[in-house]
Structure 1
Amino acid sequence: MTILVIGATGRVGHHVVDQLVNRGAEVRVLTRDPSKNAFPDGVEVAKGDLLDIDSLRHAFSGITSLFLLNAVTGDEFTQALITLNIAREAGVERVVYLSVFDADKAVNVPHFAVKYGAERMLEKMGFSATILRPAYFIDNEKMIKEVIFNYSVYPMPIGGKGVAMVDVRDIAEVAAIELIRRDQAPEKLPNDTINMVGPDTLTGSGVAEIWSEIIGRPVNYGGDDPSEFEQNMATFMPKWTAYEMRLMAERYVSDGMIPQSGDVERLTRILGRPLHSYRRFAETLFSETTEKA
Structure 2
Amino acid sequence: MTILVTGATGRVGRHVVDQLLTRNADARVLVRDPSKAGFPSNVEVVQGDMLDIDALRLALAGVRTLFLLNAVAGDEFTQAIITLNIARESGVERVVYLSVFDADRAVNVPHFAVKSGAERMLEAMGFSATILRPAYFIDNELMIKDVIFNYSVYPMPIGGKGVAMVDARDIAEVAAIELVRRDQAEGKLPSETINLVGPDTLTGSDLATIWSETLGHPVVYGGDDPSGFEQNLANIMPKWMAYEMRLMAERYVSDGMVPGAGDVERLTRILGRPLHNYRDFASQLAAAT
Q: Do these two structures clear the TM 0.5 threshold for a shared fold by scoring above it?
A: yes
1:100 maps to 2:100: yes
Q: Residue 37 of structure 1 aligns with which residue?
A: 37
1:22-48 per-position Cα deviation (integer Å, ceiling 9, x unaligned): 110000000011011201230000001
Task: Kindly indicate whether the alpha-carbon contact (under 8 Å) linking 1:130 and 1:191 is maintained by their aligned counterparts in 2.
Answer: yes
Provide the secondary structure at the position in 2 that maps to 1:130: strand
1:195-228 per-position Cα deviation (integer Å, ceiling 9, x unaligned): 0000000000000000000000000000000000
Q: Residue 230 of structure 1 aligns with which residue?
A: 230
Q: Residue 143 of structure 1 aligns with which residue?
A: 143
- What is the distance in 2 between the residues matched to 1:193 and 1:273? 20
- What is the distance in 2 between the residues matched to 1:8 and 1:265? 28
Provide the secondary structure at the position in 1 that maps to 2:113: helix
Q: Residue 110 of structure 1 aligns with which residue?
A: 110
- What is the distance in 1 between the residues matched to 2:119 and 2:40? 30
- What is the distance in 2 between the residues matched to 1:158 and 1:40? 39
* Alignment of structure 1 residues 160-171 onto 2, 5 Å: 160-171=160-171
Provide the secondary structure at the position in 2 that maps to 1:157: coil
- What is the distance in 1 between the residues matched to 2:61 and 2:169? 29
- What is the distance in 2 between the residues matched to 1:37 and 1:284? 26
Q: Residue 62 of structure 1 aligns with which residue?
A: 62
Q: Residue 88 of structure 1 aligns with which residue?
A: 88
Provide the secondary structure at the position in 2 that maps to 1:28: strand
Q: Residue 188 of structure 1 aligns with which residue?
A: 188
Number of matched pairs? 289
Task: Kindly indicate whether the alpha-carbon contact (under 8 Å) linking 1:21 and 1:40 is maintained by their aligned counterparts in 2.
Answer: no
Q: Residue 71 of structure 1 aligns with which residue?
A: 71
Q: Residue 48 of structure 1 aligns with which residue?
A: 48
Write the letter of the residue equivalent to 2:186.
P
Write the letter of the residue equivalent to 1:59.
A
Write the letter of the residue equivalent to 1:48.
G
**Could you tell me how far 1:71 is from its partner in structure 2?**
1.3
- What is the distance in 1 between the residues matched to 2:91 and 2:157? 44
RMSD: 0.5
1:284 maps to 2:284: yes
**Identity in percent:** 80
Provide the secondary structure at the position in 2 that maps to 1:193: strand
Write the letter of the residue equivalent to 2:17.
V
Task: Kindly indicate whether the alpha-carbon contact (under 8 Å) linking 1:97 and 1:130 is maintained by their aligned counterparts in 2.
Answer: yes
**Could you tell me how far 1:171 is from its partner in structure 2?**
0.2
Write the letter of the residue equivalent to 2:80.
A
Q: Residue 152 of structure 1 aligns with which residue?
A: 152
Provide the secondary structure at the position in 2 that maps to 1:65: strand
Q: Residue 265 of structure 1 aligns with which residue?
A: 265
- What is the distance in 1 between the residues matched to 2:203 and 2:71? 27
Write the letter of the residue equivalent to 1:250.
E
Write the letter of the residue equivalent to 2:127.
F
Q: Residue 132 of structure 1 aligns with which residue?
A: 132
